[in-house]
Amino acid sequence: MARSAAPSVVPTPAPDGKSGHTAPCGIPWSDVAGFLGAFAALIVVLLLPIDSIGWDAQIALAMLAFAVIMWVTEAVSYPVSALLITSLIAILLGVSPDPEKPGEIIGTSASLKVALSGFSSSAVALVAAALILAGAMQATGLHKRIALMVLKVAGEKTSNIVAGAIVIAVILAFFVPSATARAGAVVPILLGMVAAFGLAQESRLGALLVITAAQAVSIWNVGIKTAAAQNLVAIGFIESQMEQSVSWGQWFLWAAPWSVLMSIALYFIMRAVIKPEADSIAGGKELVERQLAELGPMSGAEKRLVAISIVLLGFWATEDILHPISSATITLAAVAIMLLPGIGVFDWKTAQKLVSWGTLIVFAVGISLGSFLLDTGAAEWLSEKTFGVLGLGGLPILATIALVSLFNILIHLGFASATSLASALIPVFIALASTLDLPGGGIGFVIIQQFVISFGFLLPVSAPQNMLAYGTGAFTTKQFLKAGIPLTIVGYLLILLLSATYWKWMGLV
C-alpha cells in the first residue's frame, strides 16, 4: 500500500451532541429545556414538605438538583453553571431566617462565605498549580517529546504501538495533571502514523489507537492522585469532613495496582475488539523520527521542566515519609520556580493563555456545594433515602462496595465531567460511610468510590479526554462502546477483587 505524506493532524473540537433545532434566540432547544428544567427542579425541591431536615438543608438539596441537571444537560458551560450555583446559594441562604437570631435573616454577607467556602480549600491551590504545570508541558512541548520517544522505541508493529500508547499514558500521568492535555499530546501523533500508512483517520487502525489512548488516560486517572481534578475533589472533602489526609504515596500504593492490571486488560481487550487493517505501520518509525527531528534538541526550558518535574515527583512520593510538606504546598513552590524570569520555564502571560481557569472555578464551587450538603445534614438525609432502602448496614463491606459501585457506574452515564460527579456524590458517600461500621471511619470506602467515579470507559461523552478523541472522527460511538463494555466489567470486577484481597490486606477496607 502506498504511503502518503503524513499531514499535521490536530483534533477538531468535540461535537456536543445537541440538536440542530434552535429557539428564536438562536440557542438550541435542548439547552433551553435543560436550563428551565434546572430551575424547575430547584423550585420543586424547595416546595417539598420535608420536615425531617432544616430549611438550609432543603436549600442544599435544591441546589444539588439544580446543579446535577445543569451538569448533565450542559445547558450552559460548566464555569457559567458554577457562577449560577454560587449566586443562588448566596441569595437563597441569605434571605433565609437565621436560626440563631429569631426574626432576622442570615444575610448575603454570611451566605456568600458559604457559597465561596470551596475556594479556601488547599485542594484548590493544588488544582491551580497542577493546571499551570500542565500548561508548562504544553508551552515547552515536553509531553509531545516524551510521547514521540516512547513511540520511537515501540517501532512499527501495531501491537507494539498499542502498548506504546498505554505506556505514554502511564508516564504522562506522573507529570501532566490534566487528562485532556495527556490525550491531546498523543492522539495527533497516533493519527499521523495512521496517515503515514495511507489510511483514513476513521480506519480500524485509527479507531484502535485513538480509543486505546483515551481509555489509558482514564485508567491512570485512578492510579495517580494528581492525574485528575476529581481525585482532588475527593481529597478536599476527606480532609475537611473526615479530618484525615491521603498522601500522594498512599494513593499510589492503593490505586496503582488496579491501574496496572487494567492497563494489561486494556491491551488485550483492544486487540480483541478492533482488528486493524495491517499488523504493522510501514514508515511509522521514520515519521516519528522526523517529528522528533523537527522538535530539535531539548531546549533549556524543557531540561529545566524535566528537572523540576522529577524533583516534584520525588516530593510527592515521599510526602509524610521523608518530609511533612503537603502535595499542594510543594506544587505551588514548583510552579513559582517555573514562572521565575531567567531560571523558569515560561512566563505568566503564557500561563494565562494555556490554563483553563474555568476548570478551577468549577472545582472550587463543587467543593462549596459538597460542603454545604455535608454541613447542613442534606448529604446524610440523601444517603439515607438513597441507600437506606437497600439495608446496607447489615451487609458485608464487599457487598456494600459492589452495590454502591454499580450505582456509581450507572449514574456516570449522565455526567460528562467526573469532577462534577465527584462534587455531587462524594459528600453522599462520606455521609453513607458515617452510618456504616467501617475501618478507619470509612475513608477506604470513600476512596474506592472515588476510583469508580473516574470510570469513563463506556461512552465518548463520559469524559473530556474521550470527547477530544471522538472529535477527531477516528471512531464511532459503537466502536467505543464495544471496547468500553468489557473494560468497565473488568474494572468493576477488579474493584471487588482488590477490595476482598489487596485493599483489605492494606487496611483500606
CA neighbor of 166 nearest in space, from 178, 183, 181, 180: 183
Q: What is the Cα–Cα distance from 233 to 366, expressed in whole angstroms? A: 8
- Beta-carbon contacts of residue 449 (< 8 Å; ≥ 6 apart): 404, 405, 408, 425, 426, 429
pLDDT in tens, 12-47: 444 444 545 776 767 788 889 999 999 999 999 999
| pLDDT at position 18 | 53
- Beta-carbon contacts of residue 476 (< 8 Å; ≥ 6 apart): 207
* Cell numbers representing residue 227 in the block: 492525574
| pLDDT at position 308 | 93
Q: What is the DSSP string of 116-182?
A: TGGGGSHHHHHHHHHHHHHHHHHHHTHHHHHHHHHHHHH-SBHHHHHHHHHHHHHHHHHH---HHHH
CA neighbor of 219 nearest in space, from 411, 500, 436, 465: 465
| pLDDT at position 20 | 53
Buried b / exposed e along 57-91 (16+ C-beta atoms within 10 A): bbbbbbbbbbbbbbbbbbbbebbebbebbbebbbe
| pLDDT at position 10 | 40
In the chain, which stretches have pLDDT less than 50? 1-17, 19
Q: Where do we find the cell 475527593?
A: 234
- Confidence (pTM): 0.85
Please give the C-alpha separations between residue 392 and each of 97, 222, 434, in angstroms, as whole numbers: 36, 25, 12
| pLDDT at position 447 | 96
Give me the chain's average pLDDT, please.
88
| pLDDT at position 93 | 96
What is the dihedral sign for C-alpha 257, 258, 260, 261? positive
pLDDT in tens, 219-252: 999 999 999 889 999 999 998 889 888 999 999 9
| pLDDT at position 497 | 98
| pLDDT at position 480 | 93
Contacts by 78-84, CB closer than 8 A, 24 or more apart: 78/358, 78/359, 78/362, 78/417, 78/420, 79/358, 79/359, 79/361, 79/362, 81/362, 82/358, 82/361, 82/362, 82/364, 82/365, 82/366, 83/361, 83/365
Q: What share of the chain is helix, strand, coil (3-state, %, to 5)?
A: 70, 0, 25
* Cell numbers representing residue 409 in the block: 457506574
Contact 232, 123 (CB under 8 A): yes
Bridge partners, residue 323, by sequence: 319
Q: What is the Cα–Cα distance from 4 to 7, expressed in whole angstroms? A: 9
Q: What is the Cα–Cα distance from 483 to 488, expressed in whole angstroms? A: 9
